[in-house]
């Protein structure tokens, strides 16, 4: 009886660790696939010179697909939803990249933003995975950051309806905030996966994809403003 209890106590953490490793593996495999798909869609948008979608239509589709991903995350349709979501974002990224490529040193800025995004994501993710650091203490900051992000979106929508544009200083401040917030979210979400707080690899993939997307966009904006483009 004592041996059975001891074996059960040893087996439970092993099963938990195996499940966590499976979620981590599936998340990064799906993340790689969605990033590749989004890159292809962005390249198609650049090649076809597809015009940029307005802010309000973009947000409408974005939130609609986000809702779809969350509703189907526990079914086989979740994979379809996440590719629709990331493919749409990739397609939306194409016109923005195309705009930068048409400016002075635009290709260099896109390359720098891509390289720095990859460096930050890989570095922060590797730190958490290797050290198994518990970032749960950041939960309050992440919650506050989400509220700030929604506030920024609300202001952007109002300015769009009024036909106004955010001044460069405001865009620089917002981009700086998103760089810090997305970096924190990478640490937090990776820690959640490593410590078993996140067990759905589709939702984990969607969150990490958004951190990479927003990090790249924010860095590109910063480089563009600093380069007067």
What are the extents of the domains in the chain?
2-226
Q: What does the pLDDT read at residue 12? A: 41
What integer pLDDT is reported at residue 167 of this predicted model? 79
Q: Is the pLDDT of residue 2 over 50?
A: no
Per-residue model confidence as pLDDT tens digits over 83-103: 999 999 999 999 998 888 888
Tell me: the pLDDT tens digits for 43-61?
A: 999 888 888 888 888 989 9
Q: Do 51 and 38 contact (CB within 8 A), yes or no?
A: no
Region 206-212 average pLDDT: 95
Q: Does residue 1 surpass a pLDDT of 70?
A: no
Give the pLDDT confidence of 23-47 residue by residue, as tens digits: 899 999 999 999 999 999 999 998 8
Interval 8-30 mean pLDDT: 72
Percent of the chain with pLDDT over 90: 55
> 149 with 181: CB under 8 angstroms?
yes
What average pLDDT is seen over the chain? Answer: 87
Q: Is the pLDDT of residue 124 over 90?
A: yes
Q: List the one residue out of 113, 83, 99 whose CA is nearest residue 50.
A: 99
Instruction: Compute the distance between CA of residue 151 and CA of residue 153 in angstroms, rounded to an integer.
Output: 5
**Whole-number Å distance between alpha carbons of 202 and 157:** 29
% of the chain surpassing 70 pLDDT: 92
Of the candidates 90, 99, 97, 100, the one whose C-alpha atom is nearest the C-alpha of residue 58 is 90
- pLDDT at residue 228, rounded to an integer: 63
Its pTM stands at 0.87
**Widest CA span of the chain, in angstroms?**
75
């Amino acid at each position: 009886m004592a041996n059975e209890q001891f074996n059960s106590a040893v087996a439970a953490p092993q099963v938990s660790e195996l499940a966590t490793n499976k979620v981590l593996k599936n998340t990064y495999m799906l993340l790689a696939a969605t990033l590749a798909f989004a890159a292809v869609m962005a390249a198609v948008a650049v090649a076809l010179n597809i015009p940029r979608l307005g802010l309000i239509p973009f947000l409408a589709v974005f939130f609609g697909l986000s809702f779809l991903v969350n509703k189907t995350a526990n079914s086989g349709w979740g994979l379809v939803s996440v590719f629709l979501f990331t493919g749409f974002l990739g397609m939306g990224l194409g016109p923005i990249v195309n705009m930068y490529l048409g400016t002075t040193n635009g290709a260099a800025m896109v390359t720098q933003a891509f390289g720095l995004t990859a460096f930050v994501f890989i570095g922060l993710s590797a730190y958490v995975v290797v050290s198994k650091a518990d970032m749960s203490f950041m939960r309050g900051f992440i919650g506050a950051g989400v509220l700030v992000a929604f506030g920024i979106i609300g202001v952007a929508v109002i300015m769009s309806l009024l036909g106004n544009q955010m001044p460069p200083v405001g865009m620089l401040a917002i981009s700086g905030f998103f760089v810090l917030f997305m970096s924190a979210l990478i640490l937090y979400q990776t820690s959640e996966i490593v410590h078993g707080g996140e067990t759905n690899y589709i939702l984990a993939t969607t969150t990490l994809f958004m951190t990479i997307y927003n990090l790249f966009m924010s860095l590109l904006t910063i480089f563009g403003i600093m380069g007067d483009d």
